[in-house]
């Protein structure tokens, strides 16, 4: 059977680092409050000329270089983002052009913080269906541009960045020992829209709008939804938490990450955490964390890696893969 195997990875961050201390002079907050409630110590914020497409392009180029490929070798680009450069065309098409690619196809997926999981799931379906051989999946965001910088309950939580992987069709045996994506689990429930949304859009206000969040409500649902899709991945593959080498969660909040790992019996030494460095970068957070742990040698070829996310919509999902 055909498997979608990770052939390369890359990431890109804006130049400017903004620490919690820097935020103390902008809004009524403190380093102590932010660290205690979220684990975030700093985030990267896009400056002039840095956009979702430019960060996504840089992450894509890094992944191509890591894979020893060029854009000529790709069939498809999928970009997960909620902060596109333009309402249309898709940021994926913009990145496709920046990479000098004029064949194949490119499109965006929009599932907020779960976007990378939705993107990898879509790429895996294209590859297993024989519609594409190599897919560049990018998670790229500039949430700083949709934050209300006077709202201390949200503006301290998010950051900008991009991460990418290249998935390639390779022959597998169908066993869990295969490299590549072993299972994907997606969920959404629009009944939760008001708990985390942007209060503008082309068809409603004609404006971009700002992020609004009922933090406590999101928190209340997060651990249950995350454990639901992780247990579904274990059931689908007959694996358990003991089989995992790494959990790479969406990086929203240290307390949500620790709570989910504890509930599933996954020791914290097996959890990749980058929320302290990047803040919540929405669809970029998982590929940024993957890139960090693969580049520093923690995630090695053959490791069993579980990705999970939950975000606006609500959307949530997981991907179990062998690196
Ligand atoms: N600095 C200082 N004080 C603050 C700040 C801040 N930045 N923000 C809020 N406070 C105050 C509040 O005003 C409140 O004060 P009060 O008690 O005098 O009214 C107090 O801190 C406690 O506020 P809560 O909202 O109850 O704080 P909580 O412990 O719930 O933590 C947080 C807030 C961190 C947002 C938490 O609810 C959370 O992590 N929620 C999940 C958020 C999340 O992960 N979102 C991302 C989802 S992914 C996506 O799709 C984007």
Beta pairing class for 42-45 and 105-109: unpaired
Q: What residues are annotated to the active site?
A: 113, 250, 280
pLDDT for position 61 = 98
Which residue, by CA, sits nearest to atom 42 of ligand 1? 215
When divided into structural domains, the chain yields a total of: 2
For residues 79-95, average pLDDT: 98
Give tens-digit pLDDT for 162-199.
999 999 999 999 999 999 999 999 999 999 999 999 99
Task: Give the domain extent around 56.
Answer: 2-171
Give kind and range of the element (H or E) at residue 140.
strand 134-142
Which residue, by CA, sits nearest to atom 46 of ligand 1? 252
91-98 helix and 52-67 helix, angle to the nearest 10 degrees: 50
Ligand 1 centroid vs 33 CA: distance in angstroms? Answer: 9
Verify that 214 and 141 share a domain, yes or no.
no
pLDDT for position 316 = 98
In ligand 1, the atom with minimum distance to the C-alpha of 252 is 44
Give tens-digit pLDDT for 44-71.
999 999 999 999 999 999 999 999 999 9
pTM over 0.85: yes
Verify that 198 and 318 share a domain, yes or no.
yes
CATH number of the domain enclosing 229 = 3.40.47.10
Verify that 260 and 306 share a domain, yes or no.
yes
Verify that 14 and 151 share a domain, yes or no.
yes
pLDDT for position 270 = 98
Verify that 147 and 196 share a domain, yes or no.
no
For residues 247-273, average pLDDT: 96
pLDDT for position 254 = 97
Ligand 1 centroid vs 238 CA: distance in angstroms? Answer: 37
Query: Among 147, 171, 195, where does a domain finish?
Result: 171
Verify that 166 and 184 share a domain, yes or no.
no
Verify that 317 and 214 share a domain, yes or no.
yes
Q: What is the DSSP letter of 174?
A: S
The span from the CA of 138 to the CA of 220, in Å, is: 29
Question: Which residues contact ligand 1 via a Cβ below 6 A?
Answer: 29, 33, 37-38, 112-113, 152-153, 156, 196, 213, 215-216, 218-219, 252-253, 256, 280, 282, 311-312
pLDDT for position 111 = 98
Verify that 163 and 143 share a domain, yes or no.
yes
The span from the CA of 289 to the CA of 275, in Å, is: 9
Which residue, by CA, sits nearest to atom 13 of ligand 1? 153
* Tokens linked to 130: 């024989």
Ligand 1 centroid vs 24 CA: distance in angstroms? Answer: 16
Query: Among 143, 171, 199, where does a domain finish?
Result: 171
In ligand 1, the atom with minimum distance to the C-alpha of 29 is 1
* Tokens linked to 228: 């639901």
Choice from 196, 218, 221 to test ligand 1 binding pocket (greatest atom count within 8 A of CB) = 218
Verify that 161 and 228 share a domain, yes or no.
no
Verify that 161 and 248 share a domain, yes or no.
no
Find, among 295, 317, 260, the residue nearest to 120 by Cα.
317
Ligand 1 centroid vs 303 CA: distance in angstroms? Answer: 35
Query: Which residues, including other chains, have CB under 8 Å from residue 23's CB and lie 6 or more apart?
Result: 29, 34, 155, 156
Query: Which residues, including other chains, have CB under 8 Å from residue 131's CB and lie 6 or more apart?
Result: 75, 76
Which residue, by CA, sits nearest to atom 29 of ligand 1? 37
Give tens-digit pLDDT for 101-133.
999 999 999 999 999 999 999 999 999 999 999
DSSP, collapsed to helix, strand or coil, labels residue 13 as: coil
For residues 271-285, average pLDDT: 98
Find, among 218, 262, 45, the residue nearest to 146 by Cα.
45
Which residue, by CA, sits nearest to atom 14 of ligand 1? 153
C-alpha separations of 173 from 52, 101, 176, 211 in Å:
38, 33, 9, 45
Verify that 121 and 199 share a domain, yes or no.
no
The span from the CA of 165 to the CA of 9, in Å, is: 4
For residues 229-242, average pLDDT: 98
Query: Among 171, 200, 235, where does a domain finish?
Result: 171
Sole residue written with tokens 């660290």:
35
Verify that 145 and 93 share a domain, yes or no.
yes
pLDDT for position 50 = 98
């Amino acid at each position: 059977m055909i498997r979608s195997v990770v052939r390369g990875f890359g990431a890109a961050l804006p130049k400017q680092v903004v620490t919690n201390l820097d935020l103390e002079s902008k809004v009524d907050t403190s380093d102590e409050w932010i660290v205690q409630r979220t684990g975030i110590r700093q985030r990267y914020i896009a400056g002039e000329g840095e956009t979702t497409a430019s960060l996504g392009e840089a992450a894509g180029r890094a992944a191509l270089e890591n894979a020893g490929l060029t854009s000529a070798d790709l069939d498809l680009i999928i970009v997960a983002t909620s902060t596109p450069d333009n309402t249309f065309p898709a940021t994926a098409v913009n990145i496709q052009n920046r990479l000098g690619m004029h064949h194949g196809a490119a499109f965006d997926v929009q599932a907020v913080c779960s976007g990378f999981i939705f993107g990898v799931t879509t790429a895996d379906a294209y590859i297993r269906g024989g519609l594409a051989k190599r897919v560049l999946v990018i998670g790229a965001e500039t949430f700083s541009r949709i934050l209300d910088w006077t709202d201390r309950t949200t503006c301290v939580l998010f950051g900008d960045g991009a991460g990418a992987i290249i998935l390639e069709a390779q022959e597998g045996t169908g066993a869990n020992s295969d490299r590549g994506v072993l299972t994907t689990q997606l969920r959404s429930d629009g009944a939760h829209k008001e708990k985390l949304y942007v209060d503008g859009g082309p068809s409603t206000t004609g404006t971009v709008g700002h992020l609004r969040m009922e933090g406590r409500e999101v928190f209340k649902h997060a651990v249950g939804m995350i454990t639901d899709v992780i247990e579904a991945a274990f059931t689908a593959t007959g694996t358990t938490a003991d089989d995992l080498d790494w959990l790479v969660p969406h990086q929203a909040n240290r307390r949500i990450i620790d709570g989910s790992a504890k509930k599933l019996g996954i020791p914290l030494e097996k959890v990749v955490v980058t929320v302290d460095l990047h803040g919540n970068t929405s669809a970029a957070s998982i590929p940024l964390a993957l890139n960090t742990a693969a580049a520093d040698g923690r995630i090695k070829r053959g490791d069993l890696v579980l990705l999970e996310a939950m975000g606006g919509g609500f959307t949530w999902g997981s991907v179990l893969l062998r690196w």
